[in-house]
Amino acid sequence: MINGIHHVTFLSADLARSRQFYEGLLGLRADPHRPQMSFDGIWYDVAAGQQVHLMRLPDPEAGLQRPAHGGRDRHVAFAVSDLAPLIARLDEAGVAYTLSQSGRRALFCRDPDSNALEFIE
């Protein structure tokens, strides 16, 4: 019945700050075909038919204490061909991350709005 994931959505308090992270750090490209909606946002193409959507809306969980390790929180996992370049970029940008506790070649970090992201080699 389910044959894939079309998109994941995250709330963003500051789209300019989020764009620096998703575009500048992760290298995603914005989809110029996002329709006008009642709130600001941006769509990123990740792979064929797969997107990340950011919505500038108030965070209903503001102030919620998140686990230090993103693997213990709800998260989305992205496949990458090589973790080394990502680790170098995260280190250079001062973005904290943790390695997978399972021993897999994977790491977890958080975007500027504390959304947990996993990257699996």
CATH of residue 101's domain is 3.10.180.10
81 is a domain residue: yes
Global pTM value: 0.91
pLDDT of residue 4: 83
47 is a domain residue: yes
Distance CA 47, CA 79 (A): 10
53 is a domain residue: yes
1 is a domain residue: no
2 is a domain residue: no
Question: Do the Cβ atoms of 75 and 116 come closer than 8 Å?
Answer: yes
pLDDT of residue 14: 94
pLDDT of residue 119: 96
24 is a domain residue: yes
What total of structural domains would you count in the chain?
Answer: 1
What kind and span of H or E run contains 15? helix 15-19
Domain encompassing residue 108:
7-59+67-120
pLDDT of residue 47: 86
34 is a domain residue: yes
42 is a domain residue: yes
pLDDT of the chain along its 121 residues, tens only?
988 889 999 999 999 999 999 999 999 999 999 988 999 999 999 988 899 999 999 888 888 889 888 989 999 999 999 999 999 999 999 999 999 988 899 999 999 999 999 999 9
Question: Do the Cβ atoms of 66 and 117 come closer than 8 Å?
Answer: no
pLDDT of residue 49: 86
Distance CA 83, CA 104 (A): 11
